[in-house]
């Protein structure tokens, strides 16, 4: 019988060891946040998130249980995570150059505000750079990893070296894009070009679908594994052209539970977790 999935990790990467009973043990990795910080928001003001390059200024903060626009009293925990990888899916982004970073900002239940200004210090970003920061546009979407992005009014503060996005009325996932190509730093990792978008629906009944996006044609094998590391389905095995590809995971006959979908290409591996719940 194949060995169970085993996981160990570092601050930035979670490594999985699985055995599908055919190839023997394999190592694959899921990248975690490059930086994470939480702050206690006590009211209107500017809050830096150490180690993420992000500062968020909020206005119209309400106390827990109060609608937006209330007087800020008490504290609210807000957490920001910085990932050194491009977003999964680029719906709504008009610019061709998407930076290989993204930020996910969440707050505890009951937190409300009317508007937010998001500032990103470009000097804190590694792996790539924008040739002209005045051409950068910030985008936001409510659900990290899913749905379309919406552009925010964006400017560049040369004095502080920050990209400044205004008009955000909710938290979520934030990314940066530019009309210029993104310049990779010498010796740095290239932006992610092999990604699985979150499954839809998830949780699911008998079937769900994931979208694999790649920027180059290559042989790809996409498989699903159960919680014991056993392969239960092959979604695709063959060459895929550049672009997005929607793949169906038919779980009829499989028990309820958590499954891992793994896409393995010529140079990269991508993972998504899905849950069958009838």
Cβ(55)–Cβ(46) below 8 Å: yes
Assign 236 a pLDDT band (cuts: 50, 70, 90).
very high
251 and 227 assigned to the same domain: yes
Share of the chain above pLDDT 70, in %: 79
pLDDT tens digits for range 205-216:
999 999 998 888
Please name the residue that has the structure tokens 């807000």. Answer: 78
pLDDT tens digits for range 154-180:
999 999 999 999 999 999 999 999 988
Which of 127, 158, 184 is at the close of a domain?
Answer: 184
Instruction: Give CA–CA dist 278/116, Å, rounded.
Output: 39
**Domain count of the fold of the chain:** 2
113 and 238 assigned to the same domain: no
43: left (phi over 0), alpha (psi -120 to 50) or beta: left
Q: Which domain holds residue 206?
A: 193-276
Instruction: Give CA–CA dist 267/129, Å, rounded.
Output: 23
The answer to whether residue 92 is domain-embedded is yes
pLDDT at residue 149, rounded to an integer: 95
The answer to whether residue 25 is domain-embedded is no
Please name the residue that has the structure tokens 């504290």. Answer: 75
CATH code at position 197? 2.60.40.10
The answer to whether residue 81 is domain-embedded is yes
178 and 40 assigned to the same domain: yes
The answer to whether residue 16 is domain-embedded is no
70 and 143 assigned to the same domain: yes
46 and 138 assigned to the same domain: yes
48 and 148 assigned to the same domain: yes
268 and 167 assigned to the same domain: no
170 and 255 assigned to the same domain: no
pLDDT at residue 34, rounded to an integer: 65
CATH code at position 81? 2.60.220
pLDDT tens digits for range 252-271:
999 999 999 999 988 778 88
Mean pLDDT score, 228-237: 93
Count Cβ neighbours within 10 Å for each residue of 245-256 and write b for 16 or more, e otherwise.
Answer: bebebebeeeee
180 and 198 assigned to the same domain: no
151 and 225 assigned to the same domain: no
Whether residue 4 is predicted with pLDDT greater than 80 in this model: the reply is no
């Amino acid at each position: 019988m194949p060995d169970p999935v085993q996981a160990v990790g570092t601050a930035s990467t979670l490594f999985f060891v699985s055995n599908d009973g055919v190839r023997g043990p394999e190592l694959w990795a899921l990248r975690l946040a490059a930086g994470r910080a939480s702050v206690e928001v006590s009211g209107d003001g500017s809050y830096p998130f150490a180690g993420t390059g992000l500062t968020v200024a909020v206005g119209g903060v309400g106390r827990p249980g109060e609608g937006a626009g209330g007087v800020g009293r008490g504290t609210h925990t807000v957490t920001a995570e910085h990932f050194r990888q491009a977003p999964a899916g680029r719906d709504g982004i008009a610019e061709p150059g998407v930076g290989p970073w993204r930020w996910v900002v969440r707050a505890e239940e009951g937190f409300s505000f009317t508007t937010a200004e998001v500032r990103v210090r470009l000097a804190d970003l590694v792996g790539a750079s924008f040739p002209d920061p005045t051409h950068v546009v910030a985008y936001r979407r409510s659900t990290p990893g899913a749905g379309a992005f919406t552009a925010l009014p964006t400017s560049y503060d040369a004095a502080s070296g920050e990209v400044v996005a205004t008009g955000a009325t909710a938290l979520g996932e934030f990314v940066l894009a530019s009309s210029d190509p993104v310049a990779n730093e010498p010796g740095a990792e290239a932006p992610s070009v092999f990604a699985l978008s979150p499954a839809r629906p998830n949780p699911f009944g008998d079937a769900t679908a994931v979208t694999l996006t790649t920027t180059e044609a290559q042989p790809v094998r996409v498989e699903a594994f159960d919680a014991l590391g056993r392969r239960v389905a092959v979604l695709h095995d063959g060459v895929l052209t550049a672009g997005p590809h929607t793949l169906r995971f038919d779980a009829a006959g499989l028990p309820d539970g958590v499954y891992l979908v793994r896409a393995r290409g010529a140079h990269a591996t991508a993972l998504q977790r899905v849950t069958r719940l009838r």
